[in-house]
Amino acid sequence: MRILWFNDRHHRILRLVALPGLEEGREPYLRRKLRQRRQVPQRDVTSRRALQWLIALAAIICLPAVATVILISRTSEPDLFDLVPKVPQLDGYSILAWPDLERAHHALNAGALSSGARIRALGYMMDGDRSAGDHDVSGFILLPDAGNAFHPAHRFGDQMISVRLEAGKTVRFHERGLVWAWGTLRALPGDASGQKPLYILDDARTQPADKAEIPQFFKWT
C-alpha cells in the first residue's frame, strides 16, 4: 500500500491505493525509507562515544597539570643564589653574594666574609618574629630563594640570615617579600645543612626592594 493525499477546495481525502507488485501486509514504502534515513550505523555511534571518552579523559589528565604549571609560574620569584654583584659596595656596605656564605666556600676562599663585616644583602623576607604586633616585626629570616606555591624555599644553615633590627625598630612583614637588609654580619657555629640560621645581621635596617633592582646591581653567573 502507498499513502496518497488528494486536496480539493473543501476537503482533504486520505486514500490507500494498492500499487501493483506490492504484497498485502508488506511495510509501507515511505515508512521504510524514512527509517533507513534515520538509522545510524552502530560502528559510527561507537566511534563517536569513544572519541568523547578520550576527550574527557585527556581533559581530566591535562587540566590539573596545566593549572599546576600556571600556579607555579605565577608564585615563583627569581633565585638570588647565583647572582654576582656588579659593584662591590653600596653606601659603605659590601653587597652580599650569597655563595660567599657557604661554609665549604669559606674553607677554600681566604677572602670570604667573616664576622664583623658590614654587608648589604638582597633577599626574601621569611618567618617574621610577630612579637612586635600582627603586622610589624623586629626581626625575620632572609633567604635567597622564595620557593613557590608547591615547593617551599630551600633552607640550609649557611644560606639563612637572621635579621635583627636596631633596638626599638620594627618593619612591616611581608611573607616572601623582596627586601634589602644591611648591618653587621655575625657568624655562628652549627650545621651548614641544618635548619638553623648560621648568620645574624645585627643592628640591621631594611627597605623594600623591586625586581628591577636585581639587574641593576647584579648579574647572573
Per-residue pLDDT tens digits for 158-217: 999 999 999 999 999 988 899 999 999 999 999 998 989 999 999 999 999 999 999 999
Is residue 202 domain-shared with residue 119, that is, in the same domain?
yes
**Is the residue at 70 inside a domain?**
no
DSSP 81: T
CATH number assigned to the domain comprising residue 101: 2.40.50.870
Is residue 9 domain-shared with residue 98, that is, in the same domain?
no
pLDDT of residue 186: 95
User: Which grid coordinates are listed for 56?
Assistant: 574527557
Read off the pTM.
0.66
Distance separating alpha carbons of residues 31 and 141, to the nearest angstrom: 83
Is residue 135 domain-shared with residue 200, that is, in the same domain?
yes
CB-based contact 146:124 (threshold 8 Å): yes
Domain count, the chain: 2
Is residue 18 domain-shared with residue 102, that is, in the same domain?
no
Is residue 98 domain-shared with residue 179, that is, in the same domain?
yes
Boundaries of domain holding 33: 2-38
CB-based contact 97:84 (threshold 8 Å): yes
